[in-house]
Structure 1
Amino acid sequence: MSAPPSLPQHSHYEKACDQAIAMCDGNLRSTIKALIMANEYLEAELEELQAAITAGCVPARTQAASDAA
């Protein structure tokens, strides 16, 4: 098995980590807590969207969306 390609030292994820830590004043515990909270929010949003789709509550396509397709 070949080794996965190495990521550049300052990849997109490294920059995103640096930004998240900076937003929490360098407090790693606060950064992790904020990321967990954001993930939980997104999971709840996804569940709501999946439930709406299952129930047939799909938003109508807008003219802009139709033009883009």
Structure 2
Amino acid sequence: MTLQELSVEYRAHAQTLSARVKELERRLEQTREPRERCLLQDRIRMLSTMVREARELAVLTEHYYDRGYRRNVRYTV
């Protein structure tokens, strides 16, 4: 698998996660129970982080070999 192909996979993964976040946000709006709201907020927060990271990795793998591309410091050694 090439990095270009991997970037497509990361983008698809990010879209799937983003759809799940939206679904959980709708459930959060309808829920009144404090414990369930707290659990939903935690899951949304975790999934939102995963969405951001998947998008960042998609960009990184897409442009990895581009000349002059400035990589995200978080993903460099």
Q: TM-score range by the shorter chain?
A: 0.3 to 0.5
Structure holding more helix per residue: 2
Choose between structure 1 and 2 for higher RCO, CA contacts under 8 A separated by at least 6 residues: 2
TM-score relative to the length of structure 1? 0.45
| Higher Rg of the two aligned structures | 1
